[in-house]
Every structure is written in structure tokens, then in C-alpha cells.
């Protein structure tokens, strides 16, 4: 591509062409992996899947500003794309989906999409929603106490913003001006309950005012806007100016999980309308229009990524399942400080 | 060896560990300028500053959840819950998060954290400042539960809990804070988690208990001694893991077993100790295992006669021991 085009892209969008291509690649990679996991589920090879389709733009836009293994994330179950940008691989998540021993998230102990990787500072996630926001605040507290410039990003769906932990985390992080970004991925549904039955305000971001921090609404269908707004929030946190609440309006292109059927509670029209707002498709069109990535180049990219995921699927399927008895491992530390259960600490002999 | 109160021993453990290890911090309601509602953290903020001894918002899930996060990022938090009665909003963070972090990540992550909370009654605290809720945490793999009865153990167990790489619940009997005194060694020592303490040797009855009840048990044992009955008192002091070996050994030697606790009995520590004895000591027993504890009411009521009725005092414990001795 001519340099002039690239310069022009930056002046038009605020983001350079190379970054835009990289973002698209990350989004597409997550999408293809997500689709593969659905197929494995529908084929009966993966017992469960929960999807991030429709959330890719905001996750990639946010993750691009984080230094993998230096900054921290406390994610939630739709953050597949986020973890991939930070360095996890399709194979990592396929090992999890198929319940294989080498799953780095959880050693095949947790359901898929319960992310975690210490090497990459991705905090392990359970299934209780919103608890991770307090972990994010605590991680950021430790960074601040040590005088480090690490930023923590912690994310949540809009459904879990009804939980008490959401309030407790924002209130505490704001009070102590912690270097944390709270990201709400608002797809409009808590499983089957629409947002207007969850809260009386149209924007979760409005609540930021109650904590004395900035609240920002972002179009989660626009990767460029996601990238720019997240960059501002991360920079603010890194400067020591405290937390930001970002609310990305996203679409949920799939049912809540592989055990749900959203046709039971959403109209065909609304589902079709959301499909028109698919951030991956829209971004591909936009990059073509901008002259950043032609349809032909996008096709080549897709083929490369599909090949990677095919290979990863093959390897994950061939990987061993966990040894049944390993279910007993890792309850508590079993090395130094091992408990002596033989008798009294200083028992008299008799 | 210097004699100290229970509360001073707890504070000394925290102060010495904070001096030794910059990762150790205290996070809880009123722990700063006030030094906690019981004065346990008195003077610590002055020495270690506002961040390492941090006043928390009035939000228990926040206290524990933030501590979990700080622990994941290299700190060694001591979370203080003002009264054990108010730990319930934090139970999701304790049981779903702290207790499962190591297991659910197959050892990738761990949570080195202590949660301190005063428990127990006899101070007119009524329903919401008197409870003994330890059993609900003893049920949970991934947690350790500690209840010291003496100043010596209060310090040694707290130091061990702070250095432990996993979450430890450390419950302090609030009536013991200033009523129990004892010798406390200067400087660094630990009492290993998971070990019981032989508080009194005896031949006829093995009495298992913990917390302030250990002192009640020693008084009651003294009374039986005058009539020629010899009661062995075992201070369990760590309720999860229980010191199975110590329980079995004393039960087999004495042949009669009483388990005493302040909490009500259903599905409790006393239930678990009784089950261990039933499984491991059946052929050695001369009497059924007996238990004594609080009545099956929701919590301890306020007025003196009601509170006295709830509590297992020395008289009630003595009567129960005599019943078992006669069997």
C-alpha cells in the first residue's frame, strides 16, 4: 500500500493502517476460533461453549493498549478475543473446550471460557459474576502500593452490573484512585432479560458519576472508536489519575451459551438486525473502503487463520485427558509448610 | 518470658510480620486511626502508614475481594472483618474465589491471605455480635480455619497463617481479647497449622474443644479432679485441617469422649470430631461419644438470663463430664 494512503488513514480514523490490520486479524482469529468451538459443541465433541461473538471489537481495542505480562486483566467469560491478543492461543482454548489435561486456563477443571494464565497476568475467573471486578481493584492496589505503572483492565457484562461487587469495586477503586479500567460489555441481555428490565438508566456509564470517575459510552461495533477510547482510559490510569468506566454497546450474535436458545425470548427481526451490526463484517468492509485491506487480502488472511485453527483443533483432540486421580491435586499447597498430622506438636510419650 | 493479653499477642504477630515482610498489609473497617473496634490494630497505621494499614469502605465483599486481588499480585493481605457475624456478604469471595483459586487454575494461581474476625459471645452482643460461624468454613476444601485459645498460640498461629500460601480464616474469641493472659515468647516463632495442643493430660475422659471454651474446660476438669476423675483436655486450635492423629490418640487412650463448643451442634466441628472418633476408635470406646454446645436457636439473645442459658459455662460442662464419667 502506498505510504500516502496509510498517512491518510491515520488522519481520517486516528489509527494507523498497520494497527487497523492487526486489529482486524485479532478479531477474525477470535471469531473463527469461536465458530469452531460451536461446531465442536454441536458435533457432541465439546460439552459446552459460551461465546464472545459480537464483542470482538471492544476486546481487541482494549487489549491493544495493554503490555502482556506487565499489565493485568481480570476478565469474564466472553473475553476470548481479549485473551488471544494478550498471548493465549487457539490451541489453549481448544484444550479447554475439549477438557484436555494441558488446558492452561484451568487444567480442564473449569467449564470453557473460564480464562486464566498467570504468565500473562490474566487472573483466573470463576463462574460467580462480578467478583473479578474486586480482584481487579485489588491487583491495581498492589501495583499502586509498589509504585509500578501497571494498569489493570477488568471486564463484565451489563447483567452483572446489578451485583453488589460491581458497586463495591468501583467505589473502592475510585476512592483510592487506583490504576484500573472497568469495561462493561453491554450486549443488552442478561441471558434472557433485556437491559430495560435490569436497570432504569439506558447507560451503565451514567453510574460513573456516582463514584466520581469518568464514564464513557463506546460503540462496540466500531473498532476504531473502541481503540481510541480505551487508549484514553488506559493512559489516564497509567498517569495515576484513577479509574474509568467504559461501557461498550455490543451485540450478542449467539445465544447466551450452547445450552440456551435465544429464539425463545427474542424476535427474528431483532436477531436479524443485530446480525447487520456484526463488528467483524462491518470492519472488513470499512478496511476495504479505506484501502487498508482488500477483500482479496482479507480472504488470504482468513485462510491462514483457519489453517491455524484447524491445526490447533487436531492437536487438541490428540492431547491426553486428565488422569482421574489428578482431581485430588492442587487443593492447598503441598510442598513447604506441609502439615504434620501425626500427633501433638509436643506430645509427651507414654 | 513476658506475659501478654490475647489481643496484644495478635497485634504483636502482625507488627513483627509487617516489619519482616513488606508484602504484609492490613485491610479492614476502622483498622487505621481508631485501631479497630477492639483495638487489635492499634498503632499499626502510625508505624506502617495509611496504605499498608488501610481503612476499608463498609463493604465486606470488597474487603475480601480486594484482598484476593492484592494477594494475586504479590501482597500478603490480612483482611479484618469487624465481627464474624458480618462476614456473610463476603462468603462468595471466600468460598467461590479464595478457596477455589488454586484448584480451579490447577495450581497456576494461589491466594496467600488471612481473614481475621472476632467471634463468640458472652459480651451481651446479642444475635449479631456473638455468633460462632466457623463450621460453615470448615466444610470447604481449600480453606484453613484457625481458632487460638492462648496468647502463645494466638501469635504463633497468626504468624504461620500469614506465611501460609493459601487462604486462612483466623477467628479470635472477642471475650478472650483482654480476659486471657499468658506467656508469649519474644520474636519469631510459629505454631504449625493443623496441629492440636494437649492442654491437660488425663486418663478417663478426652475432652475436645477450642477457643475460649478451652479455659472453661480446664476449670471443669479441675473440679472433677477433686473427685478422682481425670480429664484430658485437647485444644483443637486448628479446625480445618483437624489434627486427626491427636484426636484418635486421646480418644483411644481415654475411652470416653466429650466434644464441647460454643456453637450449636448440628453439622458442626463437634459433629466432625465425633465422626472421626466413631470411625477410628469404635473398639476403644466405653461410652457413646457425647457433645455439648449451644442450643438450636438462630443466635445468642441479649438479656443476661438468655445469654447465660445459651452459653456452656463451667457448671454445665462439669455436669456433662460427670454424666459421661458415670456411664
Q: A55-78 burial string, b = 16+ CB within 10 Å, else e?
A: bbbbbbbbbbbbebeebbbbbbbb
Closest Cα to residue A166, out of A190, A182, A152, A181?
Answer: A182
pLDDT at residue number A345: 35
pTM to 2 decimal places: 0.96
- Residues 197..236 of A with a Cβ closer than 8 Å to B: which? none
CATH of the domain spanning B197-326: 3.40.50.920
Section A117-130 average pLDDT: 98
Residue A93 falls in the annotated catalytic set = no
Query: In the predicted model, is pLDDT for residue A29 greater than 60?
Result: yes
Contacts of A104 in chain B (CB under 8 A): 108
Closest Cα to residue B116, out of B144, B74, B82?
Answer: B82
Residue A333 falls in the annotated catalytic set = no
pLDDT in tens, A197-224: 999 999 999 999 999 999 999 999 999 9
Pick from B66, B104, B198: which is nearest to A110 by CB?
B104
Decide: A164 and B89 in contact? Cβ < 8 Å.
yes
Section A132-157 average pLDDT: 98
pLDDT in tens, A245-272: 999 999 999 999 999 999 999 999 999 9
Backbone angles phi, psi at B226, to 5 degrees: -60, -30
- Beta carbons of A139 and B166 less than 8 Å apart: no
Order of strands across the sheet that contains B231-235: B197-200, B231-235, B205-209, B257-264, B290-294
- Beta carbons of B249 and A343 less than 8 Å apart: yes
Q: B288-319 burial string, b = 16+ CB within 10 Å, else e?
A: ebbbbbbeeeebbbeeeeebeebbbebebbbe
- Beta carbons of A332 and B249 less than 8 Å apart: no
pLDDT at residue number A131: 98
Query: In the predicted model, is pLDDT for residue A335 greater than 90?
Result: no
Tell me whether domains B3-183 and B197-326 share a fold: yes
Q: What is the ipTM of this complex?
A: 0.97
* Min Cα separation A228/chain B (Å): 28
Domain ranges of chain B: 3-183, 197-326
Pick from A106, A138, A337: which is nearest to B105 by CB?
A106
- Beta carbons of B246 and A347 less than 8 Å apart: yes
CATH of the domain spanning B3-183: 3.40.50.970
Pick from B57, B69, B100: which is nearest to A171 by CB?
B57
* Min Cα separation A162/chain B (Å): 15
pLDDT in tens, B11-67: 999 999 999 999 999 999 999 999 999 999 999 999 999 999 999 999 999 999 999
* Min Cα separation A240/chain B (Å): 16
pLDDT at residue number A339: 40
Strand blocks (E) in A109-178:
152-157
pLDDT at residue number A208: 98
Which residue in A128, A182, A345 has the most chain B C-beta atoms within 10 A of its own C-beta, making it the best mutation to test that interface?
A345
Amino acid at each position: 500500500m502506498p505510504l500516502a494512503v496509510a498517512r491518510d488513514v491515520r488522519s481520517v480514523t486516528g489509527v494507523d493502517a498497520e494497527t487497523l490490520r492487526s486489529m482486524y486479524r485479532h478479531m477474525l482469529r477470535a471469531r473463527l476460533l469461536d465458530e469452531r468451538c460451536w461446531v465442536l459443541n454441536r458435533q457432541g465433541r465439546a460439552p459446552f461453549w459460551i461465546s464472545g461473538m459480537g464483542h470482538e471489537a471492544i476486546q481487541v481495542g482494549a487489549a491493544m493498549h495493554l503490555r502482556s505480562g506487565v499489565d493485568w486483566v481480570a476478565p469474564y467469560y466472553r473475553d476470548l478475543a481479549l485473551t488471544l491478543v494478550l498471548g493465549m492461543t487457539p490451541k489453549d482454548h481448544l484444550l479447554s473446550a475439549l477438557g484436555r489435561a494441558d488446558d492452561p486456563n484451568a487444567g480442564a477443571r473449569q467449564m470453557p471460557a473460564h480464562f486464566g494464565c498467570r504468565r500473562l497476568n490474566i487472573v483466573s475467573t470463576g463462574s460467580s459474576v462480578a467478583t473479578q471486578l474486586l480482584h481487579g481493584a485489588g491487583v491495581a492496589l498492589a501495583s499502586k502500593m509498589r509504585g509500578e505503572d501497571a494498569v489493570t483492565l477488568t471486564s463484565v457484562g451489563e447483567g452483572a452490573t446489578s451485583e453488589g461487587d460491581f458497586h463495591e469495586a468501583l467505589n473502592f477503586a475510585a476512592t483510592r484512585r487506583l490504576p484500573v479500567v472497568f469495561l462493561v460489555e453491554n450486549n443488552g441481555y442478561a441471558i434472557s432479560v433485556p437491559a430495560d428490565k435490569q436497570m432504569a438508566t439506558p447507560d451503565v456509564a451514567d453510574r460513573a458519576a456516582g463514584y466520581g470517575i469518568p464514564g464513557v459510552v463506546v460503540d462496540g461495533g466500531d473498532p476504531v472508536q473502541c481503540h481510541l477510547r480505551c487508549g484514553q482510559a488506559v493512559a489516564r490510569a497509567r498517569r495515576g489519575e484513577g479509574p474509568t468506566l467504559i461501557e461498550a454497546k455490543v451485540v450478542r450474535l449467539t445465544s447466551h451459551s450452547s445450552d440456551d436458545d435465544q429464539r425463545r425470548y427474542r424476535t427474528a427481526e431483532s436477531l436479524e438486525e443485530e446480525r447487520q451490526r456484526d463488528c467483524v463484517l462491518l470492519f472488513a468492509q470499512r478496511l476495504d473502503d479505506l484501502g487498508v485491506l482488500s477483500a482479496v487480502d482479507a480472504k488470504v488472511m482468513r485462510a491462514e487463520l483457519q489453517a491455524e485453527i484447524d491445526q490447533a483443533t487436531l492437536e487438541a483432540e490428540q492431547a491426553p485427558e486428565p488422569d482421574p486421580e489428578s482431581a485430588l491435586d492442587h487443593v492447598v499447597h503441598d510442598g513447604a509448610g506441609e502439615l504434620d498430622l501425626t500427633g501433638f506438636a509436643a506430645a509427651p510419650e507414654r | 518470658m513476658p506475659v501478654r493479653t490475647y489481643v496484644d499477642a495478635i497485634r504483636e504477630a502482625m507488627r513483627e510480620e509487617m516489619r519482616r515482610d513488606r508484602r504484609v498489609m492490613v485491610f479492614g473497617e476502622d483498622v487505621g486511626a481508631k485501631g479497630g473496634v477492639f483495638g487489635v490494630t492499634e498503632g499499626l497505621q502510625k508505624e506502617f502508614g495509611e496504605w499498608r494499614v488501610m481503612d476499608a469502605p463498609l463493604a465486606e465483599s470488597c474487603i475480601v475481594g480486594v484482598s484476593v486481588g492484592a494477594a494475586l499480585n504479590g501482597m500478603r493481605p490480612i483482611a479484618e472483618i469487624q465481627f464474624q457475624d458480618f462476614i456473610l456478604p463476603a462468603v462468595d469471595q471466600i468460598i467461590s474465589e479464595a478457596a477455589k483459586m488454586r484448584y480451579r487454575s490447577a495450581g497456576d494461581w494461589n491466594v496467600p491471605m488471612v481473614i481475621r474476625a472476632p467471634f463468640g459471645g458472652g459480651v451481651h452482643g446479642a444475635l449479631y455480635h456473638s455468633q460462632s460461624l466457623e463450621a460453615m468454613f470448615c466444610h470447604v476444601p481449600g480453606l484453613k480455619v484457625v481458632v487460638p485459645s492462648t496468647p502463645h498460640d494466638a501469635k504463633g498461629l497468626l504468624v504461620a497463617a500469614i506465611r501460609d500460601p493459601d487462604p486462612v480464616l483466623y477467628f479470635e474469641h472477642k471475650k478472650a481479647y483482654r480476659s486471657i493472659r499468658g506467656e508469649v515468647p519474644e520474636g519469631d516463632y510459629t505454631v504449625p497449622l493443623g496441629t492440636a495442643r494437649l492442654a491437660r493430660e488425663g486418663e478417663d475422659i478426652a475432652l475436645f474443644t477450642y477457643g475460649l471454651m478451652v479455659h472453661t474446660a480446664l476449670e471443669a476438669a479441675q473440679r472433677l479432679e477433686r473427685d478422682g476423675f481425670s480429664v484430658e483436655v485437647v485444644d483443637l486450635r486448628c479446625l480445618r485441617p483437624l489434627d486427626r492423629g491427636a484426636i484418635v490418640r486421646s480418644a483411644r487412650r481415654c475411652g470416653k469422649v466429650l466434644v464441647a463448643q460454643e456453637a450449636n451442634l448440628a453439622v458442626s466441628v463437634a459433629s466432625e470430631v465425633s465422626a472421626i472418633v466413631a470411625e477410628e476408635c469404635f473398639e476403644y470406646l466405653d461410652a457413646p461419644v457425647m457433645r455439648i454446645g449451644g442450643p438450636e436457636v438462630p443466635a445468642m439473645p441479649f438479656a443476661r438470663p438468655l445469654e447465660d442459658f445459651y452459653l456452656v459455662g463451667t457448671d454445665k460442662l462439669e455436669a456433662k463430664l460427670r454424666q459421661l464419667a458415670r456411664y
